[in-house]
Structure 1
Amino acid sequence: MKTMQVETPALLIDHKILKRNLTSMQGYADRSGVNLRPHTKTHKMPRLAKMQLEAGAAGVTVAKVGEAEIMAEAGIDDIFIANQIIGRSKVERIRRLTGAVNISFGVDSVYSVKEIDGVFEGADKKAEVLIEVEVGEKRSGIIMRNDFITLLDEIKNSRNVRFKGVFSHDGHTYKASTIDRLKELYHDSSARTLKFAGIARDHGMACEVVSIGSTPPFVLGFDIPEGITEIRPGTYILMDGSQANVLGHHDTCAATILTTVISKPTDERVITDVGAKGLTKEHRTEGLTATEGLGKIVGFDGVHIDSVFDEHAIIYDEGFRSRVEIGDKVEILMNHICPVSNLYEKAYIVEDGEVIEEAPVSARGKLQ
């Protein structure tokens, strides 16, 4: 099938760019002497996760137990859930997975460790956990040294929980206004992660894994400090408008939304058939990743989505209107790929104008 014969709206992935992104990030990790454990929440597709593993990734990262279950069902056997898993039923699902896969997950509270310890009572394997360190994103994770030591002691004194290491996410780097500032935030975050790894070591609990994540520092090729063992970028595989802005070009953007022009009601207004339900209303307002509008129209400089309804994208551009007809198909470069992937049942992998494969988004909607 020709790419332009695909019914719209549709998620497209350019195969050549995809493979370049895979090769580039794996080469960077290899040269840096660290494991690559890509975050699959970006694409939610076992097919792409397997491509990442075939390229050399040590395992995959997910955000939810449901995503871990989908990846395990697909035969992926080394999974890290980079999140706190609270609730006995969810921890019980992880316990069931331990029989078939090597799985670890995040903690940042005594409550969590106590709950895990109880659920894993009598299990063949201990639960493997990494403590999350808050490094400036102002999200989850341990902040104070005393709380970290208390948590280490809780794990040490538990019967069914094994300490594997520490992890962090430097998502606040997305708001950096310059490359130099981004590098400063990245190095500060890495240093803070290593500091807590050192505290654990001095407490008699050396880290097997010291894991850091986010895409911008790695696509920019920043040095990875000694002591970091693993990186967890996600967006790099497909990229999007906001993170590509860090690079100053869109050559690494593999994913787009194919959409059809369905109306031209005024001299400057164009309507296409993808709205918030297929594009989201995501945009970034600060720093290098700031975006204009709700998505860029590929091949038309300066043309972007001005607004969306549930099923309609609204574009105000007289020049663009004069160049397209009702029934034409155009591609949109989305601002944020991760939530967009979650909206589609499948992606079309394309090359040279042809669909070469359809990849189910099997972890779509797996939010529990």
Structure 2
Amino acid sequence: MNEATPLTSSSVLPQKGTPLAIPCKLLGDVPLPAAVIHEAPLAHNLAWMQRFAEAHGARLAPHGKTTMAPALFRRQLEAGAWGITLATASQCRAAFVHGVRRLLMANQLVGEANMGIVAELIEGGADYYCVVDSVENVGQLGPFFAARGLELQVLIELGVTGGRCGCRDAIQVEALVAAIAEQPALRLVGVEGYEGMIAGGDEVAAVRAYGERLVDTVRALHASGVLACEAPIVTASGSKWFDLIAEAFDEAELREHYTPVLRPGCYVVHDHKLYAGAMADVKARHPHLEGELQPALEVFAHVQSLPEPGLAIIALGKRDIGHEPDLPLPLRLYPLASQPEAGMVPADVTAWHTTHIMDQHVFLAIPQDTPIAVGDVIAFGTSHPCLTFDKWRQLLLVDDTLTVKEALATYF
């Protein structure tokens, strides 16, 4: 093992889950709880989704809000990603400072302070895009960027009734096109959407129809001559329906004359329930699809108390792990205290279940005859990884032996 690199000094107060040095052993050398990313499934997921996008003639711009971890952005770009998607101007700034040059902000840019951040990014060389869905916003953006002597690349967002943002119909799109044409500082370069708000009824059919609407709209705009680029962008796709959007984008004409962009974010670490179920649905729709995404994110914590038979209290809480839409999922027990002779051999505890979570405690229902002791360690899985990442200032990259190889800083 290489000589360990110290991570802290007497003048810096370390964040939770920070090892004193790297490399080190997760079990024993790291103050738990700690959020962990497993190296092998991470590498698998990066390669799998990149191959999937390319197989459908699409570019990949992973949604960075999931992790806000520049070290993961770098890995995604090195794997072949076209750019990184972000949700806010501040997130774009964090990504740009850490080397990301193509920034797709899948959100409206509102407020002069946020516009100022973006102006500085463009002046610094960023290839930046945002979305618009109202004449009012266009009227705010145009004069601001004109006064700075800058051009802003915008995409029209298409929404769904009862959903989030976006134009609901063709009349709104036409009004928006006309408003953009009156602002010399704005360049209309394509169409954007998000299918994740579609729910109820035949969701698969509705998502497919929405994908077709995106494609039809960008084609119509291109044919009318209002788009200010040779290869207009058409982009959508969260982490649930990415296969259906990829199908809509997978046409010879789009491959040759447009820039189809997929934007899933959670795929990078996947999860143990919500998106695991979505992946099963993808496999069911495409039985010949090779391989699948693998869960890479876990949170490790100590057994803190065994106050009564059938109940274990774990030193883990809402401030450490996501708990929506599902409570933390126990995966493995490392019997460091109860069976030290067992070494690091974990026991499968997926049959156990979390009953309650508080700020710093998880209530875990366990079999009454379970060989478990205070000080043992349990690895928990998550459902919807976004809500775990934002609770940590760094996550630990570990190999198959649970050796910590890198601390991945986050910038929320």
Match of 2:329 in 1: 296
1:274/1:313 contact within 8 Å kept: yes
Match of 2:185 in 1: 160
Whether 1:90 and 2:132 are equivalent positions in the alignment is no
Q: Partners in 2 of 1:281 and 1:308 — Cα distance?
A: 8
Shift of 1:222: 6.0
Match of 1:115 in 2: 140
Name the SS for the 2:146 alignment partner: coil
Mapping for residues 53-202 of structure 1, pairs under 5 Å: 53-100=77-124, 101-135=126-160, 138-172=163-197, 183-202=204-223
Mapping for residues 277-288 of structure 1, pairs under 5 Å: 277-283=319-325
Return 5+ residue gaps in structure 1 as ranges. Answer: 284-292
Q: Partners in 2 of 1:185 and 1:323 — Cα distance?
A: 50
Assess, with a 3 A threshold, how the Cα gap between structure 1 residues 221 and 15 changes in structure 2: closer, same or farther: farther
Q: Partners in 2 of 1:136 and 1:215 — Cα distance?
A: 21
Q: Partners in 2 of 1:222 and 1:163 — Cα distance?
A: 23
Q: Partners in 2 of 1:69 and 1:137 — Cα distance?
A: 31
Assess, with a 3 A threshold, how the Cα gap between structure 1 residues 265 and 219 changes in structure 2: closer, same or farther: farther
Whether 1:3 and 2:34 are equivalent positions in the alignment is no
Q: Deviation string for 1:295-314 (max 9, x for gaps)? A: 21113123232211111111
| Number of residue-to-residue matches in the alignment | 349
Shift of 1:204: 2.5
Match of 1:324 in 2: 372
Return 5+ residue gaps in structure 2 as ranges. Answer: 1-23, 284-291, 332-347
Match of 1:205 in 2: 226
Whether 1:312 and 2:361 are equivalent positions in the alignment is yes
Name the SS for the 1:276 alignment partner: coil
Name the SS for the 2:354 alignment partner: coil
Whether 1:346 and 2:378 are equivalent positions in the alignment is no
Match of 1:288 in 2: none
Shift of 1:264: 1.1
Name the SS for the 2:353 alignment partner: coil
1:295/1:335 contact within 8 Å kept: yes
1:182/1:217 contact within 8 Å kept: no
Assess, with a 3 A threshold, how the Cα gap between structure 1 residues 99 and 221 changes in structure 2: closer, same or farther: closer
> Which amino acid counterpart does residue 77 of structure 1 have in structure 2?
R
Whether 1:243 and 2:275 are equivalent positions in the alignment is yes
Name the SS for the 1:141 alignment partner: coil
| Structure label with greater radius of gyration | 2
Q: Partners in 2 of 1:220 and 1:295 — Cα distance?
A: 29
Shift of 1:124: 4.0
Shift of 1:108: 0.8
Assess, with a 3 A threshold, how the Cα gap between structure 1 residues 222 and 108 changes in structure 2: closer, same or farther: closer
Name the SS for the 1:318 alignment partner: coil
Name the SS for the 1:331 alignment partner: strand
2:44/2:293 contact within 8 Å kept: no
> Which amino acid counterpart does residue 234 of structure 1 have in structure 2?
G
* Identity %, equivalent residues: 24
1:3/1:355 contact within 8 Å kept: yes
Q: Partners in 1 of 2:154 and 2:194 — Cα distance?
A: 16
Shift of 1:360: 0.5
Q: Partners in 2 of 1:51 and 1:103 — Cα distance?
A: 20
Name the SS for the 1:152 alignment partner: helix
Q: Partners in 1 of 2:213 and 2:94 — Cα distance?
A: 33
Match of 2:56 in 1: 32
TM-score, normalization by structure 1 = 0.89
Shift of 1:186: 2.9
Match of 1:358 in 2: 407
Q: Partners in 1 of 2:328 and 2:174 — Cα distance?
A: 45
Match of 2:260 in 1: 229
Q: Partners in 1 of 2:367 and 2:132 — Cα distance?
A: 53
Shift of 1:87: 0.7
CA-atom RMSD, angstroms? 2.2
> Which amino acid counterpart does residue 294 of structure 2 have in structure 1?
T
TM-score, normalization by structure 2 = 0.80
1:137/1:170 contact within 8 Å kept: no
Whether 1:14 and 2:35 are equivalent positions in the alignment is no
Q: Deviation string for 1:99-137 (max 9, x for gaps)? A: 121111111111111111121123343011111111467
Shift of 1:326: 0.9
Q: Deviation string for 1:323-359 (max 9, x for gaps)? A: 4221111111111111210110100001112111111
Assess, with a 3 A threshold, how the Cα gap between structure 1 residues 102 and 295 changes in structure 2: closer, same or farther: same
Mapping for residues 269-284 of structure 1, pairs under 5 Å: 269-283=311-325
Q: Partners in 2 of 1:137 and 1:168 — Cα distance?
A: 14
Match of 2:15 in 1: none
Q: Partners in 2 of 1:261 and 1:132 — Cα distance?
A: 48
Q: Partners in 2 of 1:330 and 1:59 — Cα distance?
A: 36
Q: Partners in 2 of 1:69 and 1:355 — Cα distance?
A: 29
